[in-house]
Structure 1
Amino acid sequence: MPVLKFYSWSYAAGGCGLIAMVLAEKQIPFELVLVDMAKGDHKTPEYVAKHPFGQVPMIDDDGFILYESRAICRYLAEKYADRGTPLIPTSLPAKALFEQAASIEFANFHPLVGKIMLEAIYKMHNNLPPDEAVLTQAKSDLAAKLDVYEVILSTQNYLGGNEFTLADLFHLAFAPSLAQQGHNIMADRGPNVTRWWNDVSSRPSWVKLQADGIPGIKSTM
């Protein structure tokens, strides 16, 4: 049987980290194809023919090519629904609440974390000064969003209900990396957010990925 090919960079963070987490939670065998972005592997004609944006991650499932991390996570969670941790509910109401929670993450959490990453991490790595006003505003805006999370999580265990789903997992893309760089955006929040975040970020699969990197590769972030 063909083995799923997972095209990724070398550390368990960002979209690649999300997919690695799903692969671990669902216990899906795969072949890791390391894309050396420093050497421009992601911009070769052969790679761009599969991923027109020339980015990672990407999967090749026996000839079926798929890119964009959240789409890949949903595909794997549904294809392997009978394996490992259930990550997408099956009943219509529960699935609707899951999609609502996933939309909350994508519309309210991810854009602000992206701004913080740009100012606090990417600019530093490229020897550029951060825009402190933008950084401060993004952190303030994120705090306000997490205040709403506090209300939601006061009546349920996770963002989409009482079971862990992809909607919770998606929050792991960059928040842990920011904390490693001294920007712990999840610290000192309300008790419900703190309880939820400690639960999500301490799942054994995620802890192992952060310690060992994506299987076969030591994490460098």
Structure 2
Amino acid sequence: MVLKLYGWPKSTCTQRVACALIEKKVPFEFIMVDLFKGESKTPEYIAKQPFGQVPCLDDDGFILYESRAIARYIAEKHANQGTPNLIPIKTIQSRALFEQAASVETADFDQFASKGVFEMVFKPMMGGKSDQAVFDDLMNTLSAKLDVYDKILSKQKYLAGDDITLADLFHLPYGVMLSQAGSNVMETKPNVARWFNDLKNRPSWKAVKDGVSSTA
């Protein structure tokens, strides 16, 4: 049975999962959940994703939600195909460095980048008004965090070492949208810029950046 990915084509979290699937060369059927028609709140979808959010995975009856959890599942289930070591397992130290980098993404990047994108991009879509001061404060904090990233990336190619992992890929959807929100913070630090340009040029991201579609 072909794996099914339920989501919205340009949802950041849906793109995060699709990117991992493509990196691991896992074919999937994409099933659109139309957020503007309330399809994520229907009883049928809530039965799969109780929070009424996207994405959601159906792997031959095994249901899983939360984009990072899905990506980890895919990387571990299909460890022997596609891009290797998206979750390093060679040594306990390499796994620990991956977990460290994954924690950095959630604690020191996503909470500022995602809130900034929401403030300037998604909030107006929902009929709200962006608050420039809130956005500027978020970007100032993120810039300081990325100064640390720049030091880390001056010594190694990726966040967990010299091999790409899910921790790097997790940055893509919101990192790319920061420019749409009005910030060039990903471009102002040389090592961060080198690293992020490398990520943006991966075939997996190019395949999903304009919208997710089936690969099966």
Equivalent position of 1:4 in the other structure: 3
1:78 aligned onto 2:66? no
Equivalent position of 1:17 in the other structure: 15
TM-score, normalised to structure 2, is 0.93
- Paired residues for 1:181-200 under 5 Å: 181-189=181-189, 191-200=190-199
1:65 aligned onto 2:50? no
C-alpha deviation, 1:216, in angstroms:
4.7
Equivalent position of 2:200 in the other structure: 201
SS of equivalent to 2:170 = helix
Aligned mates of 1:49, 1:106 — CA distance in 2: 27
- Paired residues for 1:39-50 under 5 Å: 39-50=37-48
Aligned partner of 1:179: which letter?
S
SS of equivalent to 2:80 = coil
Please, which moves more after superposition, 194-203 or 171-180?
A: 171-180
Aligned mates of 1:178, 1:140 — CA distance in 2: 13
- Paired residues for 1:11-160 under 5 Å: 11=10, 13-86=11-84, 87-90=86-89, 91-160=91-160
Unaligned runs of 5+ in 2: none
Aligned mates of 2:195, 2:108 — CA distance in 1: 17
Contact preservation (8 Å) 2:9, 2:15: no
Unaligned runs of 5+ in 1: none
Please, which moves more after superposition, 19-28 or 179-188?
A: 179-188
C-alpha deviation, 1:181, in angstroms:
4.8
Identical counterparts, % of pairs: 52
Structure 2 CA distance for partners of 1:119 and 1:180, relative to 1, 3 Å: closer
Contact preservation (8 Å) 1:101, 1:167: yes
SS of equivalent to 2:30 = strand
SS of equivalent to 1:5 = strand
Provide the aligned length of Structure 1 versus Structure 2. 213
Aligned mates of 2:43, 2:83 — CA distance in 1: 37
Contact preservation (8 Å) 1:5, 1:60: yes
Aligned mates of 1:116, 1:185 — CA distance in 2: 12
Contact preservation (8 Å) 1:116, 1:138: yes
